[in-house]
Amino acid sequence: MLRRVSESAMSSMDLDDVLLAVEKAAPVDAVEAVTRSIGARLDALWVSFLVADMSGRALVRLAHNAIGEVGDGRRQDRDVALVLPFDGGPQEQALRAQRVLVEQIGDRYVVRAPVTQRGEAIGLLEMALSAAPSDEAVQRVSRAAHTLAFVVIANRRHTDLFEWGQRTTPFTLAAEIQRRLLPESFTCEADSFTLSAWLEPAANIGGDTFDYSLARDLLHLSVTDAVGHGVDSALTATLCVSGLRNARRRGATLHEQALAANQAILDNSSPGSLFATGLLGRLDLTTGTLDLVNAGHPAPLLVRAGTVRPVALPANRPLGVLPRKPYRESRLSLQPGDRLVMLTDGMLERGAAGLDLPDRLRNLVALHPREVVRVLGDLVLDVAGPVLPDDACLLVLDWHGGHGDTRSTAAGADPSRASGTVHPLPNGAV
């Protein structure tokens, strides 16, 4: 009979001890301090943390004090990052489906638990045990992985280690500027909505951005596309996004935010030389009422009851064209079960035009927005890549209704919203 891991060993893990270990360690050693503590208390044969790659298509195993050859791994001082591309195996399945998987390999039991916070898939906690874990022990591992998510979030502010590990391709200066304009997390789950966004950059950065911010009863959204490519485009995007954020943080209305971004570009460029298109939104979480301003941007798509249609919005000039001229707003009432897709023209033009986006969206209704943006990103690369001529950016918002204190969550994710088992897509097919 198999000996089971003692639940008392797991229950002895004290949050205060974990926090103390994290605070005593340097930011670059914080994750190792936690995993070492977890491994010791479980008598684990080994414990490892794998961070999600920025491409969304791989995990990266970070190792410290690696000596000698590292194979395909990248080295920085004594740290090594080894990329593990998704192949449909248990690592990918655990992360995609947001559930703990236990796999018996010979006389060992490998436990893989997603490291997640508010739906953001940060990475994977992986450990090997000599005995089969009980259900209770598996749940405790899952909670330990959730704790690890907060450790990573808190410490990545102080070090480049995690971002270095996530970058499987070098960034240009324009890409570095563009990256800093994006929110810290690309996914957010709340009781009334689920949101995820993605950016597939062009070879020469095209200045696309997305942003969101959650207030008490409001959700602010934006997708913008600065004219041109390279550093000039990234700087235009900086003016646009910074103007929107500055106005939003001063409590400005949606119309005032549009005016502020417009003026920010005008005040810092020659007339007519720089501009950006944008789709700005402000969602009332108590009613599902979404106010929108379309500044010369592609219309959003609404997925409702099995149909996909563009949302007709009044046309406005792009941001950075004319001073002080008002922007017209429009209003959309969301219904529970609706999915709204905001995107840039890189998802629609040139090679990407070969992608039947409405048809694809109809086939993806069962997937979490985190998986939808990944699938659509893969499909755009398949039809228009492998190197895109323009940035492709999209933001997917699922509206559930029921704003308040109704969120159901387990270890950082709502299991009822997870995609379930996600199979690899052959040649980009869905």
- Report pLDDT digits (tens) over 64-76: 765 444 456 788 8
Measured between alpha carbons, how far is 98 from 196 in angstroms, rounded to an integer?
15
pLDDT value, residue 339: 98
What is 173-428's CATH superfamily?
Answer: PPM-type phosphatase domain (3.60.40.10)
Which span out of 51-65, 173-187, 194-208 was modeled with the highest average pLDDT?
A: 173-187
pLDDT value, residue 72: 63
pLDDT value, residue 424: 41
Measured between alpha carbons, how far is 241 from 264 in angstroms, rounded to an integer?
9
Task: Tell me whether domains 7-166 and 173-428 share a fold.
Answer: no
- What number is the average pLDDT over the span 307-335? 94
Measured between alpha carbons, how far is 202 from 327 in angstroms, rounded to an integer?
30
| Edge-to-edge strands, sheet with 218-226 | 208-214, 218-226, 276-284, 289-295, 330-333
- What number is the average pLDDT over the span 185-207? 91
Is the omega angle on the peptide bond into residue 415 within 30 degrees of 0, that is, cis? no
Residue 92 has pLDDT above 70, yes or no: yes
Measured between alpha carbons, how far is 242 from 260 in angstroms, rounded to an integer?
9
- What number is the average pLDDT over the span 335-343? 97
Report pLDDT digits (tens) over 269-280.
Answer: 877 678 999 999
Question: Residue 82: how many CB atoms within 10 A of its CB?
Answer: 17
The DSSP symbol for 275 reads -
pLDDT value, residue 427: 35
pLDDT band for 32, please (50, 70, 90 cuts).
confident
Residue with tokens 């670059």: 28
Share of the chain above pLDDT 90, in %: 60
Measured between alpha carbons, how far is 361 from 179 in angstroms, rounded to an integer?
27
- What number is the average pLDDT over the span 415-421? 72
Choosing among 3.40.50.2300, 3.30.450.40, 2.40.128.110, 3.30.70.120, the CATH entry for 7-166 is 3.30.450.40
pLDDT value, residue 407: 78
Amino acid at 187: T
Share of the chain above pLDDT 70, in %: 92
Sign of CA dihedral 228, 233, 239, 241: positive
Measured between alpha carbons, how far is 359 from 23 in angstroms, rounded to an integer?
50
pLDDT band for 430, please (50, 70, 90 cuts).
very low
Per-domain residue ranges for the chain? 7-166, 173-428
pLDDT value, residue 420: 60
Residue 171 has pLDDT above 50, yes or no: yes
Straight-line distance from the first to the last Cα atom of the chain, in angstroms, rounded to the nearest whole number: 44
Strand extents, DSSP E, 72-192: 74-76, 79-85, 101-105, 108-117, 120-129, 187-189
pLDDT value, residue 214: 96
pLDDT value, residue 65: 60
Residue 25 has pLDDT above 60, yes or no: yes
Question: Residue 110: how many CB atoms within 10 A of its CB?
Answer: 18
pLDDT value, residue 418: 80
> By mean pLDDT, which of 350-354, 369-373, 413-417 is the weakest?
350-354
Amino acid at 36: R
Report pLDDT digits (tens) over 284-303.
Answer: 999 999 999 999 999 999 99
- What number is the average pLDDT over the span 258-283? 92
